[in-house]
Chains A and B, each alone.
Chain A
Amino acid sequence: MQVTLTVNGQERSAEVEPRLLLVHLIRDDFALKAANVGCDTSSCGACTVLLDGESVKSCTVLAVQADGSSVQTAEGLAPEGQLHPVAAAFRQEHGLQCGFCTPGMVMASVGLLKTNPNPTEQEVREGLEGNFCRCTGYHNIVQAVLTAAKAGVDSPSVSALHPGVQA
């Protein structure tokens, strides 16, 4: 079957089997490898992307179901060489270590802040309950989302390349 999606602002098409999951369409057919597969039970959130603006676990959606939709992945969050404010906050607060959960975590956070721009700590924790991280103990991830909320997600992007130093 033929599917056509808008992926990070570009129209993309592929010939797919009916059983193909959206996460595999994105990773294997469109070669966008930021979203990861961390489980086989839709539990971990490593595969989270925005589908028509809402964060979803892309392993819970069939590629054919996403036909005609718009998908945003970590690769498409900010222009080349820049970090999206939420991504910048993850860096600022050291909300990532091995990075495996990170693209999903960032997309889930972007989705969370869209629906609740000023969450409490508890709301952040509840909002990210479906995204697992083995490295950070969640502390700095929660801080990153709160920092991003404070800065406002519409604040100017932070340059990706400057290794900020802060005493």
Chain B
Amino acid sequence: MRTFRGAVKNNPMSILGTRVLRTEDPAFLTSGGVYMDDLVDERLTGSLYATFVRAPIAHARILDIDISAALQAPGVVAIYLSGDVPLADRRPPSPTFDKAMVQPLLAKGKVRYVGEPIAVVLTEEKYQGEDAAELVMVDYDALPAVVNPRLSADSVKLFDDAVSNQVGTFGSADDFDPDFFADCEVVFTHEIVNQRVAVASMEGRGGVSVWGEDGRLTAWISNQGAQGSKTALAAMIGIPADQVRVITPDVGGGFGAKFGADTEHGIISWASRELGRPVRWVETRYENLLGMTHGRDQVQTITIGGKRDGTILAYRLEVLQDVGAYPRIGAILPSLTRLMTPGTYSFKTESRATMVVTNKTPVGAYRGAGRPEATAAIERAVDFFALSVGVDSAEVRRKVLLPKFTEPHTTSTGAKYDSGDYETALNLACKSIGYDELRREQAERRARGDVKQLGIGVACYVEITGGGAESGAPHENATVEVHPDGTATILTGTSPHGQGHATAWAMLASDQLGIPIDKITLKWGDTDLIPEGGGTGGSRSLQQGGAAVQKASIELIELARERAAELLEANPEDLQMDTSIQGLKVAGSPGAQVTLAELAAKERLFVRSVFTAPGATFPFGAHIAVAEVDTETGHATLKRILAVDDAGTILNPLLFDGQRHGGIGQGAAQALLEEFVYDEDGNPLTASFADYPFLSATEVPSYELVTMETPTSYNPMGAKGVGEAGTIGSTPAVQNAVIDAVAHLGVRHIDMPTSAQRVWRAIEAAAAGGASASGGTVGSGGIASPDATATGIASHSTPDGKVSTPTSENEAI
């Protein structure tokens, strides 16, 4: 039985910390959720359907657009091009970025990626839109496509008025210490690619917009935070935010890509006003894979140095972020990667990041958003070092993990880790999976020269959750109201789309008020009802939104106490909350009591509270993966993955573990299979589920979870965020496991996804001699010499003059 270790808990039989099934499930399992395409609403009577004409070419000037044939097609009400829509271009998300890199809501003069919206067709019926869109004729003058971010800076400019294709930088090479690796006996450098992946929530994007007679816009958007969507949409249309009401239907997954509002939402809203009718849009999977922001896409150069005994002394990370055709949130995320550069370690680090545009789908947040990239880089670097000096990878980590701390620890990058115990997590992971036994089996297979070799991949992680409030300290609001019939309603500024807030928030209120969770209704995602809120993302919801529910519940008891005191003519101090009667009792006078429901019958009983956190929290853990690699085919199979995750106090282990599972699945998917691929002309090769290698049930094993609970002092529950941890720990663990399986053959690195072809090529290259195998080819691996790597990636690998490694380091351990 779990105990809830939070500081605020008033009931020894508390529901908190127990495995509670979700109250939201029955509806999902019978009638199904009500997603964007399922919406039935009176206000949507007479809706038009929007179909976007999208660029089929990555980079071109638009010479002419002929819509005359399309306008004649059945059901077409209107077709709009960029010139018809008087809405301002979207500016880059940071004032430090090149100001010329603006995004028009519909392509203006140029197209910059395949899938960019060029025109919108409004039709009476949905299928008519697809037919008409095909009749829109666009004449293009093709331009060379910028596909390789390494070459972007010197390529044809995407934006004529921009200085170059560089969006901006975080940090600079001038900040680098020329003697950074001076005290190192060995230094290794390598380029690693954190590949572009599709977010691919099972429900794509969609929206419906309708204007009321009062001149206000009501927009249903599949989103992760209605309030943020409202602000973004109002800004796009150029009206005050209070003129917009955003409503959130059930949302079929977001993973970071459904924050705010997309250009399509701006267009349909404007068209709806123009035509005086509601306009609906739900994207197809093809549109989703091209139109929803992609994730990751960093080229990283890691340089790591230390002593031959396996002690790491210094680590440098250089990030080249491909932001796609327009700088969106993905252009900001490298700052988070930099912030988390040091990971769980005590050795010194330095980092910088450069962001460039290419002719690809814009990059945005994807589960972890900037932090998985940091963890993947350092965990790969540490393993690279371990393999190269021939010291066990868990042992190499133990030498340099930050010792346990309970007072905040500030890193060299300025991250303030609230609490951590990394070595315990690593040791627990090793013990739980039987690390020594696995190493023995690995040694045996190697000695026998088995075709199927075993790899053990270790990753330690720390990540940042619940940061990033727009202004000031991170905060969230909640309103709790008890009704005369004994039920309760909670309003929250978070925005569940699978995380189970209806259950979890009800548990928090129920714990205080004694009202059963099935009598508590959660409401979210209507900005007229809940004007403020930060939504759900960055693993923030429980530690801020949940904390606000708990705070509001406690304050509601205080309000009830005052009213009860008046009613019962007692001292407020003599009144005790009794959850078993869902009311207050006068101490020592039996019968003198009143329920919350009775109080609510006299006067509405509700409290709105804002919980403000002192800062972000830093969950941590250790993941160990076991992979089997067929050395003849290169095929890698994930046999086991064990995760020790510590995200503070656990509210509901059912939800907690569910979040970890999902994260592990997505992390393993990135390590093993998934990649969004473009050809050299910028044509997407994976724009359908037939081509994109979406993870399926056969490609992963069951996951092994081990739990640690180190409470944070940043909220009364002691909870940190767990939504993204699984992705952050599992990705490098799985990648390291695959490489480890063939490390004895001389392989030191294989880029993700570790496909059979890549693994096979790495083995071949290593057999042919590591150094010559490099050639700077991405994904070919087998390199341990900085000299060799530097040749292929001269523009981004800048090991200083002191870097030197004997070529013998290439040989098998």
Contacts and interface: CB of A to CB of B under 8 A. Distances in A.
Interface of A: 27, 31, 33-41, 43-44, 46, 74-75, 77-78, 83-84, 87, 90-92, 94, 96-103, 106, 121, 124-126, 128-143, 160-167
Contacts of A165: 15, 18-21
Q: How large is the interface on B (under 10, 10 to 19, 20 to 34, 35 or more residues)?
A: 35 or more
Contacts of A124: 697
B251 interface: yes
Interface string B282-297: 0011100000000000
A27, A83, A98, A136: which has the most chain B beta carbons within 10 Å? A98
Contacts of B200: 134
15 contacts: A36-B37, A37-B37, A40-B688, A94-B22, A94-B654, A126-B698, A129-B696, A129-B698, A134-B202, A135-B253, A136-B658, A137-B663, A137-B665, A139-B702, A167-B2
Nearest to A138: B697
Contact of B20 (A27, A75, A163): A163
B497 interface: yes
A93 to B, nearest CB: 9
Contacts of B203: 36, 38, 98, 100
B589 interface: no
B19 A166 contact: yes
A100 B33 contact: yes
B697 A134 contact: no
Given A98-B202, A132-B202, A139-B665, A33 B697 contact: no
B202 A38 contact: yes
Given A43-B690, A87-B29, A103-B32, A129 B253 contact: no
Nearest to A163: B518
A34 B30 contact: yes
B34 interface: yes
B186 to A, nearest CB: 38
A166 B666 contact: no
A100 B35 contact: yes
B33 A137 contact: no
A100 B688 contact: no
B666 A137 contact: yes
Interface in B220-256: 250-253, 255
A119 to B, nearest CB: 12
B285 A161 contact: no
B26 A91 contact: yes
A149 B417 CA distance: 45
- Nearest first, the 7 closest Cβ-Cβ pairs linking A and B are A137-B665, A100-B252, A34-B32, A97-B498, A98-B498, A99-B28, A43-B689
Interface string B691-711: 000111110101100000000
A94 B658 contact: yes
B201 A97 contact: no
B42 interface: no
Given A37-B37, A126-B697, 15 more contacts: A38-B285, A39-B689, A41-B690, A74-B29, A83-B30, A87-B29, A92-B21, A98-B250, A100-B202, A121-B702, A129-B697, A137-B666, A163-B23, A163-B516, A165-B18
Contacts of B110: none
Interface in B655-695: 655, 657-658, 661-666, 668, 688-690, 694-695
Contacts of B15: 165
Nearest to B24: A99
A87 B32 CA distance: 11
A100 B250 CA distance: 9
Given A129-B696, A138-B700, A83 B18 contact: no
A166 B18 contact: yes
Contact of A75 (B32, B499, B668): B32
A74 B2 CA distance: 35
A127 B406 CA distance: 47
Contacts of A102: 28-29, 32-33
Contact of A36 (B18, B26, B35, B40): B35
A98 B251 contact: yes
B727 to A, nearest CB: 10
A44 B284 CA distance: 13
Given A134-B255, A163-B518, A99 B201 contact: no
B661 A136 contact: yes
Given A129-B698, A160-B26, A135 B32 contact: no
A128 B32 contact: no
B22 A91 contact: yes
Contacts of B250: 98-99
B31 interface: yes
B374 interface: no
B252 A87 contact: no
A156 B291 CA distance: 46
A129 B689 CA distance: 13
B688 A83 contact: no
A132 to B, nearest CB: 5
A128 B634 CA distance: 26
A160 B24 CA distance: 10
Interface string B24-59: 111011111111011010000000000000000000
B18 A167 contact: yes
Given A94-B658, A166-B18, A135 B285 contact: no
A87 B202 contact: no
Contacts of A101: 202
Interface string B444-470: 000000000000000000000000000
B252 A99 contact: yes
Contacts of B690: 41, 43
Nearest to B506: A163
A132 B203 CA distance: 11
Contact of A134 (B22, B29, B253): B253
B665 A90 contact: no
A36 B32 contact: yes
B637 to A, nearest CB: 12
A133 B27 CA distance: 18
Interface in B250-275: 250-253, 255
A122 to B, nearest CB: 8
B517 interface: yes
A9 to B, nearest CB: 15
A163 B15 CA distance: 12
Nearest to B199: A134
A44 B253 CA distance: 15
Nearest to B20: A165
B474 interface: no
B66 to A, nearest CB: 27
Q: Could you say which of B15, B19, B22, B29 has the most chain A C-beta atoms within 10 Å of its C-beta?
A: B29
B368 interface: no
A37 B206 CA distance: 13
B518 A36 contact: no
B702 A142 contact: yes
Interface string B706-727: 0000000000000000000010
Contacts of B104: none
Interface in B291-334: none
Nearest to B17: A167
Contacts of A167: 1-2, 18-19
B13 to A, nearest CB: 10
A132 B29 CA distance: 16
Given A36-B35, A103-B32, A163-B20, A94 B655 contact: yes
